[in-house]
Each structure stands twice: as structure tokens, then as C-alpha cells.
């Protein structure tokens, strides 16, 4: 009989091992081993029901972090995302006949202003010398994920586009490269990024720049937000980022408060000119 424990192990060995790297992969395994498996690891996979999934969600909301605080909504969502990925993986392998995941099972995240890098922070990051600066310019110029960056090869550049062959959506996509990024990549051999572990990279970038809140995914948030601010379409942004649904793209590309303020000032100036005319 196939148990939840077996499905989790298969997902970790088959998907996480090849698609997540460094601390990201290690943290995923730790979450499963310390929380998910003790709660339902010995349960037959076919016995996982919607009520069991809600029970697991309730269990997470009562847990506490290492600092003795309740799990934040984002943390609960991350743990639930692991279980959802396990069940979807089992469906793909036809180990499971149907998904027991109910609608609105994942907790809704509170709306907040997008966390993006300021112009000054971007200039600082782009100005770093050597491989760090090159990697950051590629991240900021394309919005690709860290895992996609570390897998990218020089041979993946075709017709001024970076071909992403392995993404979360499973679809091949072609991401246009800005001219300055393309010029840096031309003539290179092998991998475009010499780094592997995101945590080590983020820590070193914070040390070099003094940007204490930096993490590589901020580059993706920033790219998406600037795309929307420049008038780029959601459909094109979805294709660029490789999202499975446009709803995810809308969350990444939320218009910032700064843009709203600038637009409001523009309208006031227009009204003033009209009144004087």
C-alpha cells in the first residue's frame, strides 16, 4: 500500500532533488520530515481527504516557530504548498486517481505593497564587479528564477533570447535579453552563472552592497513591477515569467504606491493647465 511517506520521498528524490538547490532543497526536506511526515506520513495515500487536509492546516496554525511565535500566514502557505506539490506529483505519476485538495484550502495572503528594489538599490546591484554583478544584471534584466539562472548555459542563448527548458510550469519559454546583458553573455562557455546556493549568494551580496533586505527573488518582483509600470501587458509578462495562470502574474506585477502617486500628480497638473487655459 502506497503511503504518504512514500509519496513524499518520491517527490523529494524525483522533483526537489533536480529542481531545487542548496538551502532551498534542504529546507523543503526539513519541513517535510519535521512536520508533514509526523502528522500523516503513515496514512495511506488514497485515504487523504479534504477533512484531513483541513486538519493539517489547523495543525500548522497552532505550531510555533523557533522564536516561540505562531507560524505566519506565509509560512503556513509554504508548508501546505509542499503537501499540494506532493499530491500533484502523485497525480502526475498516476499513483493517485484524483486530487483531494479542496478549493480555497491555501490561506489567502493579506494584500500588501509589492516588495521591490529602489532605483538606487538596483544601481548598486548592477554596479557590482565580477560574477556577482553579471548574475544580478541577468536577474534584473530578465526576471528569471534563481533555479533557472543556475541551470542556464551559454548554448541556451538563441536569437538574442534565453531559452528556459526547465521551469515550474513545465513549458519551454524564450526570454528576450536586454542588449547590455546579451553583450555580457556572448562569448561565454558553459554555465552563465558560477553560483549554486542562493543563500550564500544572497548573504554575500548583502555584505557587498549593504542592502540588508536583499534576496535574489526581489529581482523578479522588481522586473515584474517595472514591466507593468512601463505599460507592458499582463499576457506578455505571464509568458516572460513562466506563470501557469495570469492570476499569479497579477500578484507579482502589482502597481506600486509610488506609481499611483505619480499618476495622481500628473492628473492634478493636467487639471491645473486646463483651468488656466
Print the SS3 string covering 39-63: HHCCCEHHHCCHHHHHHHHHHHHHC
Task: Based on the fold, state whether residues 209 and 124 are members of the same structural domain.
Answer: yes
Question: Domain range spanning residue 72?
Answer: 4-92
Check whether residue 28 and residue 127 sit in a common domain: no
Q: 168 and 71, same structural domain?
A: no
The confidence score (pLDDT) of residue 252 equals: 64
Q: What is the CA radius of gyration of the chain?
A: 22
Asked if residue 269 is part of any domain, the answer here is: no
Angle, alpha carbons 96-101-104 (nearest 5°): 165
The pLDDT value recorded for residue 121 is 96
Residues whose CB falls within 8 Å of the CB of residue 146, separated by 6 or more in sequence, listed in order: 21, 24, 139, 198, 201, 216, 217
Residues 6+ apart with CB under 8 A from 177: 141, 142, 157, 160, 161, 162, 185
Of 92, 110, 142, the domain-final residue: 92
Which residue, 47, 77, 92, sits at the end of a domain?
A: 92
Q: Nearest CA to 147 among 198, 104, 77, 93?
A: 198
* 1 to 35, 44, 201: CA distances (angstroms): 22, 7, 42
What are the grid coordinates assigned to 204, written together? 554575500
Domain assignment present for 214: yes
Task: Report pLDDT for 259.
Answer: 64
Domain boundary among 92, 109, 144: 92
Number of domains in the chain: 2
Indicate whether 105 belongs to any domain: no
Q: Is residue 106 part of a domain?
A: no
Q: Is 64 helix (H, G, I), strand (E, B) or coil?
A: strand
The conformational region for residue 188 under phi > 0 = left, psi -120 to 50 = alpha, else beta, is beta
The DSSP call for residue 96 is S
Is 102 part of a structural domain of the chain?
no
pLDDT in tens, the chain (277 residues): 899 999 999 999 998 888 777 778 889 999 999 999 999 999 999 999 999 999 999 999 888 777 778 888 888 999 999 999 999 999 999 999 999 999 889 887 766 656 899 999 999 999 999 999 999 999 999 999 998 999 999 999 999 999 998 776 677 899 999 999 999 998 888 999 999 899 899 999 999 999 999 999 999 999 998 888 888 888 898 888 888 788 778 776 556 666 667 777 778 887 888 777 6
What pLDDT was estimated at residue 11? 94
Does residue 246 contact residue 238 with C-beta atoms inside 8 Å?
Answer: yes
Euclidean distance between the first and final Cα of the chain, in Å?
A: 81
Q: Which three cell numbers stand for residue 44?
A: 495511506
pLDDT value of residue 190 = 93
Examine residue 114 and state whether it is found in any structural domain, yes or no: no
One domain, residues 170 and 243:
yes
CATH of the domain at 204: 1.10.443.10
Amino acid at each position: 500500500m502506497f503511503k504518504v511517506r512514500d509519496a513524499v520521498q518520491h517527490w523529494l528524490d524525483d522533483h526537489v532533488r533536480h529542481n531545487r538547490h542548496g538551502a532551498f532543497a534542504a529546507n523543503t526536506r526539513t519541513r517535510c520530515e519535521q512536520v508533514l511526515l509526523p502528522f500523516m506520513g503513515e496514512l495511506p495515500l488514497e485515504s487523504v481527504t479534504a477533512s484531513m487536509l483541513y486538519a493539517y492546516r489547523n495543525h500548522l496554525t497552532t505550531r510555533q516557530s523557533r522564536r516561540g511565535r505562531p507560524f505566519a500566514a506565509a509560512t503556513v502557505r509554504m508548508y501546505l504548498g509542499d503537501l499540494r506539490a506532493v499530491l500533484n506529483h502523485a497525480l502526475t505519476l498516476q499513483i493517485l486517481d484524483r486530487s483531494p485538495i479542496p478549493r480555497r484550502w491555501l490561506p489567502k495572503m493579506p494584500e500588501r505593497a509589492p516588495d521591490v528594489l529602489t532605483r538606487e538599490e538596483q544601481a548598486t546591484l548592477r554596479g557590482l564587479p565580477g560574477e556577482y554583478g553579471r548574475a544580478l544584471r541577468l536577474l534584473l534584466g530578465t526576471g528569471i528564477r534563481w533555479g533557472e539562472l543556475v541551470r542556464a548555459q551559454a548554448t541556451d542563448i538563441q536569437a538574442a533570447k534565453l531559452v528556459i527548458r526547465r521551469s515550474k510550469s513545465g513549458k519551454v519559454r524564450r526570454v528576450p535579453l536586454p542588449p547590455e546583458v546579451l553583450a555580457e553573455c556572448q562569448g561565454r562557455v558553459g554555465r552563465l552563472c558560477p553560483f549554486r546556493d542562493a543563500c550564500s549568494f544572497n548573504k554575500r551580496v548583502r555584505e557587498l552592497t549593504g542592502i540588508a533586505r536583499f534576496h535574489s527573488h526581489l529581482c523578479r518582483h522588481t522586473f515584474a513591477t517595472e514591466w507593468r509600470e512601463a505599460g507592458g501587458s499582463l499576457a506578455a509578462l505571464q509568458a516572460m515569467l513562466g506563470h501557469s495562470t495570469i492570476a499569479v502574474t497579477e500578484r507579482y506585477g502589482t502597481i506600486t504606491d509610488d506609481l499611483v502617486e505619480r499618476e495622481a500628480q500628473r492628473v492634478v497638473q493636467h487639471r491645473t493647465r486646463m483651468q488656466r487655459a
